[in-house]
Amino acid sequence: MRARLLWAFFFLALIGHAFAEKSPAWTFFSKLLKEAGMTYSRPPGFVERSPEPNPVFVYHYRVKNPKTGVEIRYIVAPIRRIKVDYHDPHASAPEPNHVFSLVFPSLLAKLSVDGFYREKEYPPLEALKLFNADWAGAGVFTPNPEFAPFAHGFVVAMHKNDRADAYEIFLANDLETLKAAVLKYQTALRYALSALDDEGKEQAGGGEVDHVEGDQ
């Protein structure tokens, strides 16, 4: 597989909007959430910060806790926006639903200052319980300062067939503070139990109702 997948694949469909969008960051992010069938509740104590262009990686939404210094950046890639740029004359291109296991390590390597990282998968039942996901993974890395000037990074990745791939990038200068934030706030972003209506609320029949929340 040529360089696993040419590292442009689904972000080619997203980058064009991410910073060209004239509306606030939340407006674009909430649009992605609706397309992905996901819900998001901003963690308490965190305030919205505008995404900052950087040469490493595009993300869609950013919040920061002024008290703890923890920052969380979010990426949501609806399946229908994923475009696979793949060149291998001996094999067909993978389907968008099947690239998450390749994307995740590539993302960690790209965000890391030295290309090194550690990753693991959540047990399937835990991925379902925490995120209503078909798959989830976690990885730790030392951030590239051109992406984020922090000492420690932790990524939570999740995938749900025919919905979306999504990533939560936790950043902090204190490792224990980072760990606590991940454990407490990793479920702020998750897949809805059922389809969302036009206001970003789950339609009846989907069990517990979550709300997509942002700045009012």
CA distances from 47 to 25, 35, 42, 156, 214 (A): 13, 24, 8, 20, 10
Closest CA to 132 of 166, 84, 108, 102: 166
Residue 211 in domain? no
Amino acid at 190: R
How many domains does the chain fold into? Answer: 1
Residue 119 in domain? yes
Q: What is the pLDDT of residue 71?
A: 98
Q: How far is Cα 14 from Cα 68, in angstroms, rounded to an integer?
A: 31
Structure tokens at 5: 């997948």
CA distances from 197 to 27, 29, 35, 81 (A): 16, 16, 11, 20
DSSP designation for 11? T
pLDDT tens sequence across 194-203: 755 444 454 4
Q: Which domain holds residue 155?
A: 12-23+43-184
What's the whole-model pTM score? Answer: 0.81
Domain with residue 139: its CATH number is: 3.40.1000
Residue 130 in domain? yes
pLDDT tens sequence across 33-64: 999 999 999 999 999 999 999 999 999 999 99
Closest CA to 15 of 70, 72, 85, 66: 85
Q: How far is Cα 18 from Cα 8, in angstroms, rounded to an integer?
A: 15
